[in-house]
A = this chain, B = another copy of it.
């Protein structure tokens, strides 16, 4: 097998192959620090041709391939097995914007571009690339596509799936997929790019994509609204859709526990309300009208909805403050100790009933954990996290075995309830390795069998990302 590496070195420039343990170390640990992998090399092709050579050689030598982009995923989808047989296939050197099509609202970029660099490239031409995640500085396009990333503007602009017009990739068996067009409509057979989007690196390696751009909004308006219940939040959401549907860009929810955590852990952020409300909604409008016109529409909406406790941002600083409260929840949770994360997908109308039943179950069975609930309620996506409160006076950080056991209990309480409500285990984070056993247990067996049929057709040797997404593909 040294043969494999020496052959690889013949095919690729030196910059494309790294076996230095220090450089590899951070890429072998997942974002949440829960998985530790090993790899024979980190391979960084600089062109689609180089990627083809790597993947064909891996086919020849039966070497597993774990694609990894920015390594910002939350479910361990880019961490190789500990046996060290795989290579890590990175897109760092594929980092050019190949083509800017401002006139037809599209651009072609390589998989290694960070989300922030894509946003900047679009903005420089008066366009908007509307994907918005907290990890924009390090998340890379290849990973955004592999995970079908969501974020805070999905309500208006869709998931990554809706923002990808075309894809260039090398498939698992070494065939190239030349789907890099920027057409809005193209009915010429199966839409193969859809297979790669959200496939978590199990079908091939994306090298570039053509992305859909939008006009830069001319104005924005933002408000924090205190509501007494999640049902009231949903009523407000329907009114917002009816009165401002086309400019409604975000509709986020934050429960009292989440708001309190941010206040405790991020004292630099002023508390918006004198008393923390049971639920806080963050609404944002944006579009082709001015700040003033949009603020007026927002005020009209809040007035029609009869929401007395509403703060409308008066300027950019205040808008950033409102968003800061929302975006600092994950870091506040981390500072406060251990938390079990969920990324639940629910039919929007089922959310109030789900939250009530879930809270009752958790109070009864997991009294040492407090539900920290926030997320993209307008998309039916709740981050329903459980913050460990600790025994009286004890540290709030659970050791790994106790944490794993508690997570198991939480899953067994929540997932059956989610499914009974017509929801599903993951809205935007995916399955990866950390949710694989849950998916094997709770995800529809018929659908998983169809996924296996597809995997078998495109990756008959099972080389791509074994142990992620699909079971029975090796494991950690």
A198 and B192 form a contact (CB under 8 A)? no
Stretch in A22-30, A84-92, A447-455 touching the partner:
A447-455
Bound-state CA distance A428–B247 (Å) is: 28
A429 and B187 form a contact (CB under 8 A)? yes
Q: Is A347 an interface residue (CB 8 A)?
A: yes
- Interface-centre pick from A126, A177, A215, A427 (highest chain B CB count, 10 A): A215
Q: Is A57 an interface residue (CB 8 A)?
A: no
Q: Which of B105, B346, B349, B426 contacts A188 (CB 8 A)?
A: B426
Q: Is A425 an interface residue (CB 8 A)?
A: yes
Bound-state CA distance A460–B344 (Å) is: 36
Q: Interface readout for A162-175 with B: 1 if CB under 8 Å, 0 if not?
A: 10000000010001
Output the least CB separation between A277 and chain B (Å).
23
* CB-defined contacts of A187 to chain B, threshold 8 Å: 147-148, 150, 198, 426-431
A183 and B241 form a contact (CB under 8 A)? no
Q: Is A381 an interface residue (CB 8 A)?
A: yes
Bound-state CA distance A171–B423 (Å) is: 23
Q: Is A444 an interface residue (CB 8 A)?
A: yes
B154 and A427 form a contact (CB under 8 A)? no
Bound-state CA distance A424–B425 (Å) is: 38
Q: Is A443 an interface residue (CB 8 A)?
A: yes
B425 and A348 form a contact (CB under 8 A)? no
* CB-defined contacts of A245 to chain B, threshold 8 Å: 214-215, 287-288
Given contacts A176-B446, A178-B444, contact A195 B198 (CB under 8 A): no
The B-contacting residues of A in range 115-170, CB under 8 angstroms, are 126, 147-148, 150, 154, 158-159, 161-162
B159 and A424 form a contact (CB under 8 A)? no
Q: Is A385 an interface residue (CB 8 A)?
A: no
Bound-state CA distance A178–B428 (Å) is: 21
* CB-defined contacts of A470 to chain B, threshold 8 Å: 189
Q: Interface readout for A226-262 with B: 1 if CB under 8 Å, 0 if not?
A: 0000000010001001111111000000000000000
Given contacts A181-B422, A380-B184, A444-B178, contact A161 B191 (CB under 8 A): yes
Given contacts A177-B447, A288-B245, contact A190 B199 (CB under 8 A): yes
A101 and B347 form a contact (CB under 8 A)? yes
Q: Interface readout for A351-362 with B: 1 if CB under 8 Å, 0 if not?
A: 000000000000
Bound-state CA distance A380–B103 (Å) is: 12
Q: Which of B203, B215, B439 contacts A242 (CB 8 A)?
A: B215
In this complex, what residue of B is CB-closest to A149?
Answer: B187
Bound-state CA distance A156–B277 (Å) is: 37
* CB-defined contacts of A345 to chain B, threshold 8 Å: 183-186
In this complex, what residue of B is CB-closest to A154?
Answer: B185
In this complex, what residue of B is CB-closest to A128?
Answer: B245
Q: Interface readout for A323-365 with B: 1 if CB under 8 Å, 0 if not?
A: 0000000000000000000000111110000000000000000
B179 and A348 form a contact (CB under 8 A)? no
Subset of 18 A-B contacts with CB under 8 Å: A101-B347, A103-B238, A105-B241, A159-B185, A175-B446, A178-B446, A178-B447, A181-B347, A184-B345, A184-B427, A185-B381, A189-B439, A189-B447, A190-B198, A192-B454, A214-B245, A215-B241, A244-B288
10 nearest CB pairs, A to B: A194-B194, A457-B457, A104-B348, A185-B427, A215-B245, A246-B246, A103-B349, A104-B349, A184-B379, A187-B430
